Structure 1
């Protein structure tokens, strides 16, 4: 998700020491860690509630499939059928030529 190099990490650490001070930094880090753990627990609980609410028909349901970008990729761009590949933009064909229909022109 984030692409943080060693230089950026050192700058962030120095900034944290300047903002919180060396004596308050461990407490702040502990609070941030506990908040992140609590948020992760809440997200996991919400995912399990959604799965339980959907019932056994959707046992393989993945919450990330609700992301609109992933939904479109899953349902429109995964088919390898030539008819469906003809409707893809050229950038999505992975170096293959689109099918040519002599009767269409």
Structure 2
């Protein structure tokens, strides 16, 4: 319950309690607080038992800690693995992001290397100059845009503003 209270903070709380309640009333206050905590615990335990008895025998292994989302996922999803999440972990470990990004960069820049992202069977889209996509008015991403001459204004793009 008091896991994040350090020793210096605990000493400060004790000194504060002695100053507020006085040394003669402090034992009675501590006893009253402990009695209150015991009653709250007994009330919560009886409420849990009432809920378990009302749920019936099919929920005999029901724990209230399972209602926390992290515990629920750990118990019902990760332990059983009926959704194949361990296979997902293997796929994630086999995926090399740097290699994939290098392939995409090479494909965009037009480099013809061993790691080209274009399919070799010709079934995928091609962005060469003779392709229908290039002749349909789409810009060629491999070509560097021309710089305007001195005194000439750059082209205006209404969609970019």
Q: What TM-score do you get using the length of structure 2 for normalisation?
A: 0.49
Q: How far does residue 80 in structure 1 lie from its aligned partner after superposition?
A: 5.7
Residue 19 of structure 1: aligned partner: 20
RMSD over equivalenced CA pairs, Å: 2.9
Which shows bigger deviation, 18-27 or 3-12? Answer: 3-12
Query: Structure 1: which 5+ runs fail to align?
Result: 88-95
Note if contact 1:82-1:99 (Cα within 8 Å) is conserved in structure 2. no
**Aligned equivalent of 1:71:** 72
How many Å separate the matches in 2 of 1:97 and 1:4? 43
- Listed as ranges, the matches of 1:48-87 within 5 Å are 48-79=49-80, 83-85=84-86, 86=88
Cα separation, 2, equivalents of 1:82 and 1:52: 32
Count of residue pairs the alignment pairs up: 94
Structure 1 runs of 4+ aligned residues shifted over 3 Å read 76-83
Q: Which has the larger radius of gyration?
A: 2
User: Structure 2: 5+ residue runs without aligned partners?
Assistant: 96-161
Pick which of 75-84 and 17-26 moved more.
75-84
Alpha carbons of 1:13 and 1:6: their partners in 2 closer, same or farther (altered >3 Å)? same
- Report the CA distance shift for 1:22/1:4 in structure 2 as closer, same or farther (over 3 A): same
Q: Which has the higher helix share?
A: 1
Relative to 1, partners in 2 of residues 1:4 and 1:97: Cα closer, same or farther, differing over 3 Å?
A: farther
